[in-house]
């Protein structure tokens, strides 16, 4: 006799609901859970003939290589450095533009500019590669022809690693400003009108209202978004880096992140062991960070916790 609460009983009672979930089950098992078995490659010497069962176990040798060759340090440093800039510069710019838009007089102007600021979100990363070419090509790029036009020296971005510390964040902010502004604008528009009306009666001008009402009330949203972004600080923006920099070895010192390194180990070198090891390192650290962030958020305000 089956217990009334058992799994089989549920399965029978909600047969149709389970069937409706079958595609979802299959998808996540094939796409996400089964590949986790491939983590074994991180501890193995990959054998091209045999796959997972014929690749001998070599312990931590792959990690040792990454560590001793200093690659791990460099790609970790770059990943964290860029993500930190993205998170802080990106969010500040988005909050700033959302605050300005929210108090702007003129609905049409606001609608048009907000729509146009959202445009970069919709285009593919390949297009960003075209933009870099179009703007920064040494001979014919728009910025360089303009610089020459005013008698200044052109920028040789493809041979100067340092310029990318500014270029990549610039393009990141360009891509995401519209998206982030939408989030913050929604949060600002959720603030009750009554606060502003009361402040108006007390004689507070628009700057004072922003300073004492808008900013304090969106700070919780801001902090939550920053915290969760920090939890993902080990995850690099692969598309962005790959399309902007590509396989330009001159620039790796300042532009190689964990994700581009893993991609190259797979595609250019077919170094399965090393690629898996770097990927696993990223996954494990990312996982720990998210758990820590979620724990902190949960303690402060359980409503915002992810799980």
Partner 1 sequence: MQARNKGSAVILFNIFAYTVILITTILCVLPFWLIIVGSLTDNASIAVDGYHFLPKVFSLEAYKTIFMFPQTVAQAYTVTTLNTLIGTSLGLFFMSMAGYVLSRKDFKYRNRISFLIYFTTIFGGGLVPWYMMVSGILKLKDSYIALCYPGLMAPFLIILMRTFITSALPDEVVESAKIDGAGSFRTYWSIVLPIVKPGLATVGLFLALNYWNDWFLTAMFITTPRKYELQFYLYNMLSSYEALNYMLSSGVTIVTNPPSESIKLAMTIIATGPVLLFYPFIQRYFVAGITIGAVKG
- Of residues 140-199, which lie at the interface with partner 1 (CB under 8 A)? 140-142, 144-145, 148, 174, 177-179, 182-183, 186
Give whole-number Cα distances, 104 to 9, 179, 253, 260, in Å.
59, 19, 43, 41
Could you tell me which stretch among 66-74, 81-89, 93-101, 160-168 binds partner 1 (CB under 8 A)?
A: 93-101
Q: Give whichever of 212 and 287 is closer to partner 1, judged by the CB atom.
A: 287
User: CA 22, CA 7: separation in Å to the nearest integer?
Assistant: 16
CB of residue 202 vs partner 1: minimum separation in angstroms? 10
CB of residue 272 vs partner 1: minimum separation in angstroms? 6
Which residue in 170, 174, 171 sits closest to 118, CA to CA?
174
Which residues, numbered 218-247, are part of the site for partner 1 (CB under 8 A)?
A: 225, 228, 238-239, 243, 246
Torsion angle, alpha carbons of 124, 250, 262, 120, to 10 = -20
Helical ranges in the chain per DSSP H:
7-13, 15-28, 61-68, 71-102, 107-122, 125-136, 142-149, 164-189, 193-201, 206-209, 215-231, 238-245, 252-255, 258-267, 272-300
End-to-end CA distance of the chain: 35
Q: What is the pattern of x (binds partner 1, CB under 8 A) and - over residues 53-72?
A: --------------------
Contact 199, 213 (CB under 8 A): yes
CB of residue 84 vs partner 1: minimum separation in angstroms? 20
CB of residue 274 vs partner 1: minimum separation in angstroms? 9
User: CA 256, CA 233: separation in Å to the nearest integer?
Assistant: 15
Q: Does 201 bind partner 1 (CB under 8 A)?
A: no
Residues touching partner 1: how many (CB under 8 A)?
Answer: 98
Which residues, numbered 17-56, are part of the site for partner 1 (CB under 8 A)?
A: 17, 19-21, 23-24, 27-28, 30-39, 41, 51-52
CB of residue 48 vs partner 1: minimum separation in angstroms? 10
Token pair 């916790």 is at which residue? 305
Which residues, numbered 277-306, are part of the site for partner 1 (CB under 8 A)?
A: 278-280, 282-283, 286-287, 290-291, 304, 306
Q: Give whichever of 253 and 288 is closer to partner 1, judged by the CB atom.
A: 288
């Amino acid at each position: 006799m089956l217990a009334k609460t058992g799994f089989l009983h549920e399965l029978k009672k909600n047969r149709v609901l389970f069937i409706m979930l079958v595609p979802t089950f299959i998808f996540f098992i094939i796409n996400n859970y089964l590949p986790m078995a491939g983590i074994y490659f991180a501890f193995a010497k990959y054998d091209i003939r045999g796959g997972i069962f014929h690749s001998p176990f070599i312990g931590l040798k792959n990690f040792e290589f990454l560590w001793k060759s200093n690659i791990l340090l460099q790609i970790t440093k770059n990943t964290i450095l860029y993500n930190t800039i993205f998170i802080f510069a990106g969010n500040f710019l988005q909050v700033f533009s959302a605050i300005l838009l929210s108090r702007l007089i003129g609905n049409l102007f606001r609608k048009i500019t907000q729509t146009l600021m959202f445009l970069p979100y919709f285009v593919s990363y390949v297009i960003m590669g075209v933009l870099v070419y179009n703007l920064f090509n040494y001979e014919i790029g728009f910025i360089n022809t303009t610089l020459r036009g005013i008698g200044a020296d052109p920028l040789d971005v493809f041979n100067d690693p340092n310029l990318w510390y500014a270029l990549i964040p610039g393009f990141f902010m360009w891509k995401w400003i519209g998206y982030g502004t939408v989030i913050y604008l929604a949060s600002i528009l959720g603030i009750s009108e009554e606060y502003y009306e009361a402040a108006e009666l007390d004689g507070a001008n628009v700057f004072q209202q922003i300073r004492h009402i808008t900013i304090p009330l969106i700070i919780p949203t801001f902090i939550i978004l920053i915290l969760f972004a920090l939890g993902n600080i080990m995850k690099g923006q692969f598309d962005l880096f790959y399309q902007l920099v590509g396989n330009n070895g001159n620039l790796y010192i300042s532009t190689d992140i964990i994700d581009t390194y893993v991609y190259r180990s797979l595609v250019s070198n077919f170094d399965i062991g090393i690629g898996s090891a770097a990927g696993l390192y990223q996954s494990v650290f990312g996982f720990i960070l998210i758990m820590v962030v979620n724990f902190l958020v949960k303690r402060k305000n359980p409503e915002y916790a992810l799980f």
